[in-house]
Amino acid sequence: MIDMVALEQALSMVFTFETLFWMVVGVTIGVGVGAIPGLSATSGVALVLPLSFTMPLAPALGLIIGLYKGAIYGGAISAITFATPGTPDSAPTVYDGYKMMKQGKGRKAMLMALYASVTADVVSDILVIIIAPLIAIVALAFGPSERVWLMMLAIVLIGSLSGSHFAKGLLSAGIGLFIGTIGSDPISNVERNTFGVWWLYGGIGLVPLIIGLFAMAAMLEEWAKHIASKSNGKTAPDDSEAIKGMFGKKQEGLTFREFISCRKEMGIGIAIGSFVGMLPGLGALVASFLSYSVAKRYSPEKNIGSGRLEGIAAAEAGNNATVGPTLIPLLAFGIPGSTTAALIGGALIMQGATPSARMFQVFPEIIYALFIILLLANFVNLGIGRMFAFLYARLGQLPRPILIPTVMLMCVTGTYAYQQSMYDVIVMLFFGVFGFGMRFFRIPEAPLIITFVVVPLAEADLRRALLINRGDWFNALLGTWLAVALFSLVVLLVLVSIKARVSERVARLTKGEDEQGK
């Protein structure tokens, strides 16, 4: 039942010059923060949080929510333009976005990323508004046992990110598993796999790892191509003309038919992103990789990963669909679904509105104002993103001898800005060289990243489940009907994956025999 009095109060709070102004400021800053490698939505919100304490409630929410949404989208800008994901969440966008840019379809890729992001954001926000209490109850039903099997689902889907090189995908996943164990034990806090290096005790940071594997490795690859072309007396391929075409009428924009043709992949991203977003601790990175892998698995005919709009649509819909749902546990139960949600909760507490189960009854006007801002910020993001994306992409017009060092400098600066630590820069440089080697041997990076993120979380949840059940493995893993259901889904996916692999192999063998017969 809608409280009309509270709704009127919310509308009067939101539709003021001050609130709309700070919303625009927030989105503008957010897109910039997202587009700069090393920074993230969390770091951006943390920077403006002290400012929000001095503002009225609605403008403060407009600034923070706008920045959050802008930053999640902004990472796609640099991911498409020069293969450097501005935020870790946009790493899967590199696979298709950068290839499309090099094919002279950068404008299509950029517009697809923007429209998929906004569409997913709007749909997930509407879902939040309609079914927030029900979704929150389902999310809270996920204990350590259920989360373990959810992580296993993610690991099973890694196979679809390995392409035709399944063994190389397993090798990549194994490397990610090892890197994820560097640091301290999640339960007993015992040091492990640090090789006696004290600054590895806290583990490997996600931002240095992502920037090294994707951004620095890409620049090292470009540098190697440039050197090789000079030594051979040939001119290296230059992307500046492809990027230049993004600003004028040389490149065709995204048509409505092309946008609609990606509805299946956007639907996958929206469904997975909304579900993952409401589960505390997973976040937009897991959502984007899961959405991308599921879309690639169930749309093999579209050849996602070779420079396809569908890949961009799935990845960007997946990460942006987490924005609204991550606030569900916070608003309904006072439990933040992510670090950024925790910062938003802090802003609400400083405004005198402590998130809790009674918030819908005690502060209905604040809930309504927040819902309106969530929806309104999407359209601001659409306008600002359309303008800002192409301005930032102009960096890619620089000649290769200037662009490569510039992006490398951004990698170093962004990594240092992450935690103001030179050790993070060392880690980033190491994984830059390591990632260059992976590219040389055609080892996919995606299994490494998703294993690095998922396995430590699964380990921590498994250990908690065992502690709760006093070492009883059966009850720890299959003690609830939801855990049994998730286990069954994992088994089903494994069987489907095996069947798909066998079918692909049989099809290749049959095709080979037919060609020999001819």
Smallest CA-to-CA distance from 88 within 315, 278, 311, 309 is with 315
Q: What is the Cα 152 distance to its own chain's centre? A: 19
The predicted model gives 167-187 an average pLDDT of: 83
Work out the burial of residue 244: count CB atoms within 10 Å of its CB; fewer than 13 is exposed, 13-18 middle, 19 or more buried.
Answer: middle
- Average pLDDT on 369-384 reads 91
Name the helix (H) or strand (E) containing 495: helix 481-517
* SS3 of residue 184 by DSSP: strand
Side chain identity at 58, as an amino acid letter?
A
In this structure, are residues 193 and 181 in contact, taking their beta carbons and an 8 Å threshold?
Answer: yes
**How far is the C-alpha of 57 from the C-alpha of 352, rounded, in Å?**
9
Q: Which two tokens stand for residue 398?
A: 């620089």
Q: Write the pLDDT tens digit of every residue in 435-446.
A: 899 888 888 777
Query: What pLDDT is recorded for position 441?
Result: 87
C-alpha 380, offset from chain centre:
21
Query: How far is residue 375's CA from residue 365's CA, in Å, rounded to a whole number?
Result: 16
**Which of 509, 502, 483 has the alpha carbon at shortest distance from 143?**
483
* Choice among 56-70, 173-187, 399-413, 499-513 with the minimum mean pLDDT: 499-513
Q: Is the pLDDT of residue 337 over 70?
A: no
Q: 241 pLDDT exceeds 80?
A: no
Handedness of CA 214, 239, 223, 438 (dihedral sign): positive
User: Cα(501)–Cα(494) distance, rounded to whole angstroms?
Assistant: 11
235 DSSP assignment = P
Rounded CA-CA distance 22/26 in Å is 6
CA dihedral 105, 111, 112, 115 (to 10 degrees): -170
User: Helix (H, G, I), strand (E, B), or coil: what is residue 192?
Assistant: strand
Sign of CA dihedral 356, 360, 364, 368: positive
Give domain limits for the chain: 4-479
Q: Residue 333 corresponds to which amino acid?
A: F
Give the CA distances from residue 410 to residues 47, 215, 240, 254, 497, in Å, rounded to whole numbers and listed in that order.
19, 9, 19, 30, 40
Q: What is the DSSP letter of 373?
A: H
C-alpha distances in Å from residue 232, one per residue of 27, 166, 227, 229:
47, 34, 9, 5
pLDDT at 123: 92
Write out 133-174 in H/E/C secondary structure. HHHHHHHHCCCHHHHHHHHHHHHHHHHHHCCCCHHHHHHHHH
Using one digit for the tens of pLDDT, what is the confidence trace for 44-97? 776 777 777 788 888 999 999 999 898 888 888 888 887 777 777 888 898 888
Q: What is the pLDDT of residues 413-452, one digit of tens each?
A: 878 877 788 888 999 899 999 989 988 888 877 778 777 8
Statement: residue 146 has pLDDT above 80:
yes
Rg (CA), the chain: 23
